Amino acid sequence: MASRSADENLHFESDTINFQDILELLKRPEHDYSWSTGIKESHLEDLHLEMVHSGAFFSFYNLYNRKQVQTDHEVMIKVVKPFPQWFGNKERSLRLSYEQRVLQKLEEFCPTNKAIKIHLFVPGNSFAFIENLKGYRTLDDHLLSKDFSEDLAKAIINNLIHIHKATFFATSNSNCLEDLEAQLQIIPPSAKMSLADLKNSFHTNKECLIHGNLQTDSILCSLNGDIKFAGFEFAHVGSCAFDMACILVNYLVAFYHFLEPSEHSDQNHQFAQSMIEYMKISGQLYIEKMHFRNDQVKKFWSEVAGFAGCVIIRRVLLPLPEDILHTDKFSKADVLEAGIRLLKNNTFLFSSLCSLIFLPFFTLFLPFSIFLFFFSFPTLL
């Protein structure tokens, strides 16, 4: 992951936490872990901190001894950021505590899951020690640098399928899943639903354990194609369609982003086309491996469309600073229009993946440039 330096007196998103606090925490007898040995034996003045990722709701920092050559003595720290004012005010320590409980339960249901592991979290703090993420980059980085492939798209969906299938009501012990839900206090959803039926579906559908906020900064990809999911503080037992909607919206937003005028328009437009292919691949692979019945498939795509519309509208109207839509000037209107179309038409139009993918773009009011772009690629759909 890319990194940048942080001050020695650390400023963690409104919290000042110094190295002394960290050392004292790690040196407690009850916290005798092999992964922290290199840091515990360091002198205070030798410690150095680098920010390796800053997302919408959390940041990752790498803590190491600048005098040690061995990089396996590094410690990764996750710091939870305050929620935006419009999102609500939930104490950061409680959010980390909730995420830790989710990951513990996920480990029981799905021991081989690809969620980022928390090594140590002490209640009352807004940070936790997590597994090393050297070699991983966020999906956001991959998309913006046009360094993405079909294999990565498949790996992301396979990771999601792995979690969903392990906790799906149809294949899991429903009593265990109900117990899981009882132990996890549901926190406010990350998107404000505007349709009563979708809101009802979001809050009442108890299909499997879902991540709840699979945006580009919550998905990390390594050089060898391994995938990690971060930020399980929004996880709950809910509709599997919501997670799929979040993933497809990531590709949809990237599609419009790369249609913006630039000096590399031809190359960007070609990469934009690949986003549609990744949406198709993701959807087809998910349906194939989840083994839905025909009636379930229709309901699933209808809900994916509606949830996707809601997520898009929230991301356009209430963008977070790290969101690609926060800076895009030309694509916001088009993305918002796509979200509205998905939301308005989800209940009667979607019986297949292709109809879901096609609607955000196909309209008489599409900008002429996008109209020409689609008809330049007859194999797009």
**What's the CATH number where 193 sits?**
3.90.1200.10
pLDDT score recorded for residue 349: 52
Domain boundary among 84, 105, 130: 130
pLDDT score recorded for residue 290: 94
- Is 80 exceeded by the pLDDT of residue 233? yes
Query: Is there a contact between 84 and 48 (Cβ–Cβ < 8 Å)?
Result: no
Decide if 336 is inside a domain. yes
Decide if 228 is inside a domain. yes
The three-state (H, E, C) secondary structure of 284-311, written as one string: HHHHHHHCCCHHHHHHHHHHHHHHHHHH
| Res. 44 pLDDT band, cuts 50 70 90 | confident
**125 and 154 housed in the same domain:** no
Domain boundary among 101, 130, 159: 130
**105 and 144 housed in the same domain:** no
Predicted TM-score (pTM) of this structure:
0.81
Q: What would the pLDDT profile of 93-109 be if each residue is shown by its tens digit?
A: 889 999 999 999 899 88
Q: Which domain holds residue 343?
A: 137-375
Over residues 24-35, the mean pLDDT reads 82
Decide if 24 is inside a domain. yes
**281 and 322 housed in the same domain:** yes
CA dihedral 130, 131, 135, 141 (to 10 degrees): -30
Decide if 318 is inside a domain. yes
pLDDT score recorded for residue 195: 53
**120 and 146 housed in the same domain:** no
- Is 70 exceeded by the pLDDT of residue 48? yes
Over residues 120-133, the mean pLDDT reads 91
Q: Which two tokens stand for residue 349?
A: 């139009």
Largest Cα span, the chain:
68
**121 and 169 housed in the same domain:** no
- Is 80 exceeded by the pLDDT of residue 256? yes
| Res. 151 pLDDT band, cuts 50 70 90 | very high
* pLDDT higher at 375 or 329: 329
- Is 70 exceeded by the pLDDT of residue 381? no
**56 and 154 housed in the same domain:** no
**202 and 54 housed in the same domain:** no
**143 and 286 housed in the same domain:** yes
pLDDT score recorded for residue 89: 64
pLDDT score recorded for residue 337: 81
**66 and 165 housed in the same domain:** no
pLDDT score recorded for residue 270: 92
Over residues 164-170, the mean pLDDT reads 81
Decide if 380 is inside a domain. no
pLDDT score recorded for residue 378: 36
3-class secondary-structure state, position 59:
strand
Query: Is there a contact between 43 and 64 (Cβ–Cβ < 8 Å)?
Result: no
Rounded distance, CA 237 to CA 241, Å?
A: 12
**126 and 205 housed in the same domain:** no
Give how many domains the chain has, as a whole number.
2
Decide if 241 is inside a domain. yes
CA dihedral 330, 336, 337, 342 (to 10 degrees): 140
pLDDT score recorded for residue 210: 94
**183 and 332 housed in the same domain:** yes
Contacts of residue 336, defined as CB under 8 A and 6 or more positions apart, other chains included, come to 312, 313, 316, 317
Q: What angle do CA 65, 66, 72 make, to 5 degrees?
A: 55
| Res. 335 pLDDT band, cuts 50 70 90 | confident
Domain boundary among 130, 160, 189: 130
**197 and 221 housed in the same domain:** yes
Most confident option among 39-48, 109-118, 180-189, 339-348? 109-118
Rounded distance, CA 110 to CA 120, Å?
A: 20
Q: Which two tokens stand for residue 121?
A: 């979290």
Tell me which amino acid residue 156 is.
Answer: I
Going by C-alpha positions, the residue among 182, 195, 194, 189 that lies closest to residue 211 is 189
Ranking 142-151, 291-300, 340-349 by mean pLDDT, the lowest is: 340-349
Decide if 381 is inside a domain. no
